[in-house]
Amino acid sequence: MTQEQLYDKLIDLGTKGEIVPDRSLLKTPEQINAIKKSATLNTAILDHVAKHICAGMSTADIDKLVFDYTRQHGGIPAPLGYEGFPKSVCTSLNNEICHGIPDENVILQEGDIINVDVSTILDGYYSDASRMFAIGKVSKRAAKLLKVTEECVELGLAAAKPWGHLGDIAHAINSHAQKNGYSVVEDIGGHGIGLEFHEEPFVSYVAPKGTEMVLVPGMMFTIEPMINEGSPDFFIDEENGWTVYTEDDGLSAQIEYMVLVTETGIEVLTK
């Protein structure tokens, strides 16, 4: 499909009431190539963390691993200084849903589960992904939550099709989470990315199938549902203004992929 044909199709969909992306959200081939280089580094950083993360280390140690590796390979940690965020990575432990701040006094213990969310700037282009890590042997309830969260992301990815809808992804994720007795955080979601850290669209994981923005080739966004074992309700730490906790003190897990919509399918850029 030529660019002219694509834009004509967007206009036609828009006149039919569909939510379509602004042209500025559709990445060019040159931009895609540059963003993929950032994504490759982002994945390498998470691989580096995976090799070293263990019980007894602090979340500040994880931050140092991320900062040092990123800078040594020509990148910049995107979270550092973003709207005042003080560290290079988010480390969210057990009942922390997201935006946990690394701290030398927070020591990983056997049985913990932790989300490490890495975001990278390379040559001005942004990438993003997060992984869950089980520290040593975890409880059966924690292991099940991690397994279902991974399944949710994979099912959401499988539901994503060119010219489908963001709601198709949400429906697949939310349905699977609920089937397993879990809930999906409603007010925090994914986002567009590539030229900026956070771009449109907001990616909900509780929207109905067939709703929300049309998935157009050239779009780039994250699939990163936050799955709670209890209530989807949360609160934000009043002292640091960042860390999001489960309201009922239940466990929470999140896995984040960064994806590109192509003419033939969905390409995973980071995981």
**Dist. CA 133–CA 116, nearest whole Å:** 8
Residues sharing a CB contact under 8 Å with residue 156, sequence separation 6 or more, in sequence order = 169, 170, 172, 173, 205, 223, 225
In a domain, 6, yes or no: no
Instruction: Print the domain residue range for 113.
Output: 26-270
Q: Which pLDDT does position 101 carry in this prediction?
A: 98
**Dist. CA 1–CA 89, nearest whole Å:** 39
In a domain, 2, yes or no: no
| Residue 64 in tokens | 């140092």
Q: Which pLDDT does position 112 carry in this prediction?
A: 98
Residues sharing a CB contact under 8 Å with residue 223, sequence separation 6 or more, in sequence order = 153, 156, 157, 160, 169, 173, 190, 203, 256, 257, 259
In a domain, 17, yes or no: no
In a domain, 188, yes or no: yes
In a domain, 10, yes or no: no
| Residue 56 in tokens | 């007894």
In a domain, 18, yes or no: no
In a domain, 187, yes or no: yes
Number of C-beta neighbours around residue 21 at 10 A = 20
162 and 263 in contact (C-beta within 8 Å)?
yes
Q: How many domains would you assign to the chain?
A: 1
How do the pLDDT tens digits run along the chain, 271 residues long?
788 888 888 888 999 999 999 999 999 999 999 999 999 999 999 999 999 999 999 999 999 999 999 999 999 999 999 999 999 999 999 999 999 999 999 999 999 999 999 999 999 999 999 999 999 999 999 999 999 999 999 999 999 999 999 999 999 999 999 999 999 999 999 999 999 999 999 999 999 999 999 999 999 999 999 999 999 999 999 999 999 999 999 999 999 999 999 999 999 999 9
What one-character-per-residue DSSP string does 245-261 give? Answer: EETT---EEE-BEEEEE
pLDDT tens for each residue of 2-47: 888 888 888 889 999 999 999 999 999 999 999 999 999 999 999 9
Q: Which pLDDT does position 191 carry in this prediction?
A: 97
Q: Which pLDDT does position 17 carry in this prediction?
A: 93
In a domain, 16, yes or no: no
For position 139, which CATH number holds?
3.90.230.10
